[in-house]
Structure 1
């Protein structure tokens, strides 16, 4: 017996509360298998394909592409199970429906796939209502005005199309089929009972959408009393970045110090490394220098708990690095960077960077950082005053490495020079600690052999 089950937008993890629908992967009327991806959504952290825990026929979709839905809002409904002899679907025809191949009335099996924060166990068994013999099927009658949001018991796409053509709200109908299934006869009966004037009046979009669904259309010019011009919604990655940077400026009393360093010897050391094995990037070397510096100055690998009025020094270094992508700025995180050598760090940077470019980073790979390394030299600039990646305590910025006049061993020479900037939370340390950290980093850049003393 078919059951219409509602699949809600699952909790995608890391405290995310909403997601933007980027692309629907199924249409109403499509047959889907258990764990088949049905929609591609973009959160503030990553692009995610959401699998459906049920197999059967898609009977409804909630939300349009470009709109946003909160976690827990209805995403789609699926008719699952075996059909009656005159029905439109069977368990085997649905590919992998929860009741595929089972006898009618058997408990549907659930998906084995689990997203963060939601399990896809077997749905509750729905008892079939048995109509006493001798009673005819009830006619379709309007339901009470206040209808609770939920799945619409419709299997056939033709029934939905017929209802749409006559502006008929299926949520206002009581189906005469098994388990309240709305049949074509129910829709036709309701159409005949509605006055012509009412049947041609447009329906309110709000009345046909679930109350928990939130679809936010893009704001267009002229929709606000503010200044005229192109208006771009702050949502997705751009919105998350805006929120985090604004919070950082509000909550963290930051300060910045910087120094120019002669990177000629570091570049020579890198060339020697690359000649003897797998190539190591400059960013990987700087990341390894950072972990060594944080071991000496652990104050900068911390966070502040203002409610408890405590500084929390963190035992592991989860090193974030800024990466610019088509979707905006993201900060992938290298877990336990303090345990990795330069080659291992470089391999992880390459993997995470490629995932960032393809939009396949997971929320876990974009959160939990304790210190951030920002190489803005790739944009051809020398310096910057980084904004701390809240709730971290510091960020090291690196400018471009370019030939410049430099006094080397008492003589003027052309050397490879880089500017290093450290922005730090003044609550966790004073300038002496920040200056010591930055000076150690600069010393390792200028004389890579200095790093050997700490390895």
Structure 2
């Protein structure tokens, strides 16, 4: 007799109380192994896959895709100790791993069941060399030159970005019918767009008077490209000329944090223009010497951590309940990154103890994780100071909102040639605007001005930084 066990949405950590179901990875009747991911959810921090601690046959799922569930709500029920009648795989025993933490599993890799899709008849369009249109309006790609049956694995399909997965779902496209053009068959955004355009063309040929879905790109063939930003999908149209988009997930979390920062933090901003010519020359010389390339963001981070060592008041937070300023002896440096899913602030742990090469590598890793939606909650929390390089958007200055509960944020504008008085003569120099937004409760303007002036001095004369190392 099989025992039916209920698996509830686990505590995902970092104070998260709910999550939105993005995509189910199993169907009712599927066999799951212990610690196999069963659902992909989006929290206010990141996109994560949730593993089930039980092995057996899925008997029920709770919640449709797009539904928000609180922590502790049922996700699925699993019948353990039962074998499927089809013989497609073996259910695991009645014992579970006891581990429901996201991202962790048992020491053995979970077994995966393979399933062969039934062969579908090839339409005249397919025989002529055009993609056939499935019942979902999608165009299946050939597998190694075969347009017929295809063998697939249960579980997540390799997709470059959660946004690409969502694009396919919103257009009724089965990703298992595609073969990705990326490395190891990775499905790219261009692959999905190509399939949608093929489906639109085939639909237009079959029903010339029917509305044709608009393609999302003008490309004529799938190319390995990075995902492009997409606008949030409106879910409710309230009235003529009105489109409402729920503030939830990461967008909602950002809205809540920014609103709280404005309510609680009496912030002030000071700024200064600096001649960055020598800093740019120093970076060019470092990269010309060979070895891993050093990013400009990494050099700015080194300057930032050195400035915080001289002005530690800004590396702090305010405990409003205790009416205390809490100063940190470490620098966990957050940096603002714009991604397809909105603004995120990944955190470089112990940035004060890293050299420029290590900082460059960590910035690159976290930026890529943010782009693909794989940042963990731990990588998005715990920052003590934020570096905001808004110059990448082609703007000179900004008065950003402090990343609550931190006490300050350094902003860096674009570096562009400008007229500048250098050594008593007018010259064209590489000029940048630096700004510091700070919590006026942790320090006065003299401290904030001293910090910003030191940063500007290091930008103008990198040798100043060497004296502090």
TM-score (norm 1): 0.72
Q: 1:384 to 1:68 in 2, by over 3 A?
A: same
Q: Aligned equivalents of 1:369 and 1:422: distance in 2?
A: 17
Q: For residues 274-318 of structure 1, what are the alpha-carbon distances to aligned partners after superposition, in whole Å with 9 as ceiling and x for unaligned?
A: 011311111000001000000000000000011111000011100
Match in the other structure for 1:4? 4
Unaligned runs of 5+ in 2: 107-232
Q: Aligned equivalents of 1:290 and 1:118: distance in 2?
A: 35
Write out aligned runs for 1:400-415 (5 A): 400-415=414-429
Match in the other structure for 2:236? 220
Q: Aligned equivalents of 1:287 and 1:20: distance in 2?
A: 34
Deviation of the 1:222 alpha carbon: 2.5
Superposition CA RMSD, Å:
2.0
Return the match for 1:382 from 369, 383, 396: 396
Write out aligned runs for 1:5-404 (5 A): 5-82=5-82, 89=85, 94-97=89-92, 99=93, 108-111=94-97, 113-115=99-101, 220-222=236-238, 229-276=242-289, 277-404=291-418
Q: 1:321 to 1:424 in 2, by over 3 A?
A: same
Q: Contact between 1:34 and 1:96, CA under 8 Å: does it hold in 2?
A: no
Q: Aligned equivalents of 1:449 and 1:314: distance in 2?
A: 27
Match in the other structure for 1:450? 464
Deviation of the 1:257 alpha carbon: 0.2
Deviation of the 1:112 alpha carbon: 5.9
Q: Aligned equivalents of 1:434 and 1:47: distance in 2?
A: 37
Unaligned runs of 5+ in 1: 100-107, 121-216
Deviation of the 1:116 alpha carbon: 5.9
TM-score (norm 2): 0.70
Give the SS at the match of 1:240.
helix
Give the SS at the match of 1:230.
strand
The runs of at least 4 aligned residues of structure 1 exceeding 2 Å deviation read: 92-96, 116-120
Q: 1:221 to 1:93 in 2, by over 3 A?
A: closer
Q: Contact between 1:10 and 1:117, CA under 8 Å: does it hold in 2?
A: no
Q: Contact between 2:82 and 2:91, CA under 8 Å: does it hold in 1?
A: no
Q: For residues 380-420 of structure 1, what are the alpha-carbon distances to aligned partners after superposition, in whole Å with 9 as ceiling and x for unaligned?
A: 00000011000000000100000000000000000000000
Match in the other structure for 2:450? 436
Q: Aligned equivalents of 2:323 and 2:102: distance in 1?
A: 31
Deviation of the 1:82 alpha carbon: 3.4
Match in the other structure for 2:197? none
Q: Aligned equivalents of 1:332 and 1:260: distance in 2?
A: 27
Q: Aligned equivalents of 2:444 and 2:468: distance in 1?
A: 24
Q: Contact between 2:420 and 2:426, CA under 8 Å: does it hold in 1?
A: yes
Deviation of the 1:95 alpha carbon: 3.3
Q: Contact between 1:320 and 1:370, CA under 8 Å: does it hold in 2?
A: yes
